[in-house]
A and B are shown apart, each in its own frame.
Chain A
Amino acid sequence: MSTNTRLARSPDGGRATPSLENAGIWAVLLKYLGLAALNAMALIIIYAFLDDDNLGLAIVIIVITVFANVVTFVPRLYPIRWMAPGLMLVILFVVYPVLYTIVTAFSNYGDSHILTKSQAIELIERRQFVPDTAQSYSWDLYQNEAGDYGLWLDGDDSDGNRVVAFAIMGEPIQEVETDNEEPPELYEGFRLLTVGEQAQAMVQLQNAIFGTGEDTAAIANRRQAARPLVQQYVFDEERNAFLDQETGSYYLANDKTGFFVLEGGTSSDRLIPGYRVGVGLSNFQRLYEDRTLLTPLIDVFLWTIVFAILSVITTFGFGLFMALVLDHPFIPFPKIWRSIIFIPYAIPGVISILVWRALLNQNLGLITNTLFELTGYRIPWFTDPWHAKSAIILVNLWLGYPYMMLVCSGALKAIPSELYEAASVDGAEAWQSFWRITLPMLLVSVGPLLIASFTYNFNNYLLIEVLAEGNPPIPGTSTPAGYTDILISYTYNLAFGSNQGADYGYAAAITIVIFTIVALITLFNYRYVARWERVGESV
């Protein structure tokens, strides 16, 4: 057994393989068997992903597997071993989506450009047309004993003469002489299928071709079959273009804009849909160059900061206050009160926000009317900028304080009581002990939470959109914006309400810029975290 009491603080774990010393041979065996199983599983998955052309996810799994192995075999990484299960999940479900967003920001991903190029090609190649020279029919479906399908074709040729034919897969199409208007029940061993039977066969016959060689027929849709039915667009790898078999012209792939554009045509003569391409920095450029965007931006940015800070201060302040008030030995039924005050957190946010919205309605809202009767002033909650802002802070306080209260109750109890005893021996006043002991100790444990709360509110899209939709509007702006819009609601509304529909690439670029801002603020705040941590260590 080790007697190294400084182990916990030694930079490299101090010992070679600390965990092995206490563990029996079976535990060691179990560990390696487990790792072997994990590796085997990972290899299978990686192979399957690669086989499926899914490079991105394969790399992620490789990273995760390598990580697990390195952590297990490198003694220096012993502390990381404790976090391995968590970090593996974080890599898959947090880091990978972040990288995905970053990649998206450099693409034109959005409406009209949702598909990858190969998906778009696949979709466009599905389209078919009936050539001018082709014969078009109405159709009925037959089947023989052997289960082969036959197609009864009935139509008029270009001269208006009736043409009837019967087509079987892989055999020449036979012309049929008949005077009957209706298709026969039986034809050469083939039986006319009922509507239900036809329906059953449809999935199988989705791309079926009847006839043989040059002379083929196929079902175009419910209304008609065509002889022949021709694929309209054929992709030519070499020319990187679609050949339109109907007109003979080419649609060239423009890998800068992500459209197949008609050769010699204007940029609007193009195939629908387009596809996803990398567009370099142009999403960021657009953000930077868009002067109209910038005019309301300063107002919006300032309000975002104020909103986030005030939200943290009010929820934390009120939550802590309630936690302190409730933390008292002589209060009757403390559990009941605590639970009631906690209830707002148990109710889904959207319904609460909408109830608040109704309560604050300027005409019939209960709160507005009560205040009107008390003060004679009808508060214009959602039409006056300042009142709208205070309404938002108020509702966010209601939504957020139970969380803070809960965390503070736990944190208060985690403060060692000896500290208070020492303080009270010193004769510290209540206020002093709050400022000198309670608050600093509390910040040790909930400090990071306050930062997280700040970043959460910085991007609190749901609250802003549901409560006030950014209203009231700022008059005279060059881009629609509201007084209560925060950065993310303002910019996302631009990215999603824009002219081309949703523009995920632009939204991703915005996301990254906003993230950079938040990250800088967080880094700034982090210095305090470091300080709090030292407070904790000095205990």
Chain B
Amino acid sequence: MKRNRFLVITILFAMLTLIVGIAPSMAQEESLLVWAPPENSAAVTELGALFEEEYGITIEVQEVPFDQIADDLVNFGPVGEGPDIIITENSRLGQLVANGALLPLDLSDISDLFNPSALNIFTYQGETWALPFAWENVALIRNTDLVPEAPATWQEVRAISEELQSSGTAQYGFVPLFGDPYHQFPIITAFGGYIFGVTEDGSYDVNDIGLGSEGGLAGAEFISGLYQDGLADPDMDNDVVLELFAQGELAMFITGPWFSQRVIDAGVPYSVDPIPGADGALENGRPFSGGFGFAISAFSDKALLAEIFIYDFLSTQEAQEVMITAEEGTVLTRFPAFNGVDISEDPNIQGFIDAGASAMPMPQIPEMGSVWAAWGNATRLIGQGEDPTESYSNAVVQIEQAITDAQAEDSE
């Protein structure tokens, strides 16, 4: 029995020693801490080496998943466990700014180095909050064997679908991603739909919800028609769509540069086209544009040093190229925000950028929170064969309800 007790104590002691052996390393003297998502952490680490060489300041990188960076910063930054710099996407600006978590940037004298659209994405409430390195939007991918000419309108797309299906050439002409408002937005906008109206001073009017507008309902009607007439099927996600495209059973779909490599790997002759418009409405559908950039935490006590990193170092071609360079043997997954970065080698990016000519930044206002859930459900219901007008109108009711609830609570 004594031996047993001795054994237990020995084991526990050995384990404690082990823990002690794995002590966390102490922080270095002059350094900046960057939170980067897994997609970018390797690039930021590489940047860090360059920066250290030039400025003698170490860059520590902590990998945090994209959808967690903003939440973690606003929760853990105030207690001193946040970074000095984060990589963020523009859709999080509303949340970050509302919590006072970012320092505004003054990019005026380097703004001509960047694509104006990319800078515009990070402008919110009259300030610029991040130095962009990449941006993106969706485009129409088309199998050029099945559809030699790019369709100009969604009505044409539908006609092509019917023809391909009836002739037995391919199962589908075009299918929307099931229940995915982000990817269906360009179709809705082509028919004149929108999310929030814009007031005279350029801000969003949350009382004018454009999903229920004439154009919004026309778009919903069009998408519903595809499902009703068997031109599209429910439960088609990215994987299904890419698989059908590779099999030659699908001629056209909407996706972004993030799937560029998979589109190439499908081994089908293809073209990256602008989003079609609609007869009697817009010339081109309007996709959302999204951006990725570096921002300074307002909780950091090294803001001046962080500014050197952002203004002096990240505005160089060398640094921007590191952030955008694709993995060996693959193609770019986003567009460079920096004008000087050469993209002529890439087979698809220019096509996506051209499709982005009609793009609009996703609204960053907090009201978008209640839009996604309601709109997503309506989109799914249409895919399941429910009435499009009813589904969209109900989504508008849900959004209005949420907004009035919030306003009522806010004014208390």
Contact = CB atoms under 8 A, between A and B. Distances in A.
Q: Note whether A and B form a binding pair.
A: yes
A195 B372 CA distance: 46
Nearest to B393: A476
Interface in B377-412: 377-378, 380-381, 383-384, 386, 390-391, 394, 397-398, 401-403, 405-406, 409-412
B106 A223 contact: yes
Interface stretch (B91-99, B111-119, B349-357): B91-99
Contacts of B405: 290, 292, 499
Interface string A473-504: 10111111010000000000100011111100
Interface stretch (A74-82, A200-208, A234-242, A319-327): A200-208
B262 interface: no
A363 B30 contact: no
B366 A499 contact: yes
B64 to A, nearest CB: 17
A123 interface: yes
Contacts of B410: 267, 500
Nearest to B54: A196
Interface in A270-303: 272-273, 286, 290, 292
A198 B373 contact: no
A317 B349 CA distance: 55
A497 B311 contact: no
Contact of A124 (B94, B100, B234, B409): B100
Contact of A362 (B233, B301, B308): B233
Interface string A108-136: 00011011100110011010000000000
A119 B310 CA distance: 26
A363 B98 contact: no
A292 B235 contact: no
Interface in B36-91: 54-57, 71, 74-75, 78
Contacts of A361: 235, 237, 239-240
B302 A362 contact: no
State which size class the interface on A falls in: 35 or more
A380 B378 CA distance: 18
A199 B305 contact: yes
A532 interface: no
B57 A200 contact: yes
B302 A363 contact: no
B94, B301, B384, B391: which has the most chain A beta carbons within 10 Å? B384
A286 to B, nearest CB: 7
Contacts of B94: 501
B412 A497 contact: no
A475 B78 contact: no
A498 B78 contact: no
A228 interface: no
Nearest to B175: A363
A87 interface: no
B311 to A, nearest CB: 5
Contact of B235 (A195, A290, A382, A475): A382
A222 interface: yes
A273 B57 contact: no
Contact of A364 (B100, B101, B243): B243
B54 A195 contact: yes
A272 B100 contact: yes
B179 interface: yes
Interface string B364-379: 0011011011101110
Nearest to A126: B298
B234 A383 contact: yes
Contacts of B240: 361, 363-364
A498 B18 CA distance: 46
Given A202-B304, A473-B377, A497 B369 contact: yes
A498 B402 contact: yes
B335 interface: no
A253 B246 CA distance: 61
A281 to B, nearest CB: 13
B236 interface: yes
Nearest to B105: A221
Contact of A497 (B237, B373, B381): B373
Nearest first, the 10 A-B pairs at minimum CB distance are A499-B406, A473-B377, A273-B100, A362-B235, A222-B307, A202-B305, A480-B373, A199-B55, A202-B304, A196-B55
13 contacts: A123-B100, A196-B56, A203-B30, A223-B311, A358-B239, A383-B235, A383-B383, A473-B381, A476-B394, A480-B376, A480-B398, A497-B372, A499-B366
Interface of B: 30, 54-57, 71, 74-75, 78, 94-95, 97-101, 106, 109, 179, 233-237, 239-240, 243-244, 298-299, 301-305, 307-308, 310-312, 366-367, 369-370, 372-374, 376-378, 380-381, 383-384, 386, 390-391, 394, 397-398, 401-403, 405-406, 409-412
Given A120-B100, A363-B236, A471-B380, 17 more contacts: A111-B95, A116-B78, A123-B78, A200-B55, A200-B57, A202-B304, A203-B302, A206-B302, A222-B311, A273-B101, A364-B239, A364-B243, A472-B384, A475-B394, A476-B390, A499-B369, A502-B71
Interface of A: 111-112, 114-116, 119-120, 123-124, 126, 195-196, 198-200, 202-203, 205-206, 219, 221-223, 256-257, 267, 272-273, 286, 290, 292, 358, 361-364, 380-383, 471-473, 475-480, 482, 493, 497-502
